[in-house]
């Protein structure tokens, strides 16, 4: 199955899941009094342990630190190619104090016209594609509520990332260090925002980072970084 076909399958699964579980999200307990007839949500962080995250964004031409700053310090090409993907996560256990341990597996299509960037720029007339698969543990924090309406939460996903090939800035790093970006460390810190009355939906900003751990993997310091924005549905 191609990466695009798998992405399409996950998007369809998210839509079907939304229909299946949507009717139960706002149900009050059967013995609830008038005060609880509004949408009711149990306080447990494991009430909705599963989630599907759909995202897209731009691939950075700079380091992780500069990607956190949206490459505003960089002169020249700030972003070369793009990334779109989907991830499934499951929370396994409540660690207490608002923290949860889970796991995530995701796939992405990295695409664009930059075959090489950025000291030397090589652009292709056809669309180039590079597939990515990652998996690993996920640590999340339930965060805090602003104005009794919006919850701000955070999470970090780490593990290993595997790719089919490299394009753009990542390919340039392979050539510069005589390395390989096929297997690197994955690191994905994020911030999420949700309405208190609809915690099943989250707007998520994540930094998508592939690291060689200072040359430990692939003889590289970094692979590709990206700023991505997406939507997560929890069920």
In angstroms, the Cα distances linking 22 to 48, 117, 136, 151, 234 are 12, 44, 28, 20, 10
Tokens of 225: 């970084």
User: What is the per-residue pLDDT for 46?
Assistant: 75
CATH of 3-234, one of 3.30.70.600, 3.40.50.300, 3.40.630.70, 2.40.160.20: 2.40.160.20
Phi (first) and psi of residue 123, to 5 degrees? -110, 145
Indicate the pTM of the whole model: 0.80
Domains of the chain, by residue range, sit at 3-234
Q: What is the mean pLDDT of each run of 10 residues along the chain (235 residues)?
A: 47 42 40 42 68 98 96 93 98 94 98 96 97 98 95 97 97 96 98 96 98 95 97 97
List the end-to-end C-alpha distance of the chain, in Å, as a whole number: 26
């Amino acid at each position: 199955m191609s990466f695009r076909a798998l992405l399409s399958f996950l998007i369809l699964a998210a839509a079907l899941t939304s229909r299946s579980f949507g009717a139960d999200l706002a149900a009050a307990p059967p013995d609830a009094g008038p005060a609880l007839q509004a949408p009711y949500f149990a306080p447990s962080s494991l009430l909705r342990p599963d989630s599907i995250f759909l995202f897209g964004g731009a691939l950075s031409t700079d380091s992780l630190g500069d990607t956190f700053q949206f490459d505003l310090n960089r002169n020249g090409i700030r972003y070369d190619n793009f990334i779109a993907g989907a991830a499934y996560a499951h929370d396994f256990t409540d660690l207490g104090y608002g923290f949860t341990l889970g796991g995530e597996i995701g796939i992405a299509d990295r695409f664009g016209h930059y075959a090489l960037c950025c000291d030397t720029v090589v652009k292709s007339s056809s669309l180039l594609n590079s597939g990515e698969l990652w998996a690993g543990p996920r640590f999340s924090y339930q965060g805090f509520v602003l104005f009794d309406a919006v919850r701000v939460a955070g999470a970090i996903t780490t593990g290993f990332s595997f790719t089919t090939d490299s394009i753009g800035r990542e390919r340039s790093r392979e050539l510069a260090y005589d390395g390989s970006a096929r297997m690197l460390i994955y690191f994905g810190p994020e911030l999420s925002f949700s309405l208190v009355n609809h915690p099943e939906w989250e707007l998520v900003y994540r930094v998508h980072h592939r690291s060689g751990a200072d040359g430990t993997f692939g003889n590289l310091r970094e692979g590709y970084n990206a700023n991505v924005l997406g939507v997560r549905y929890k069920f």
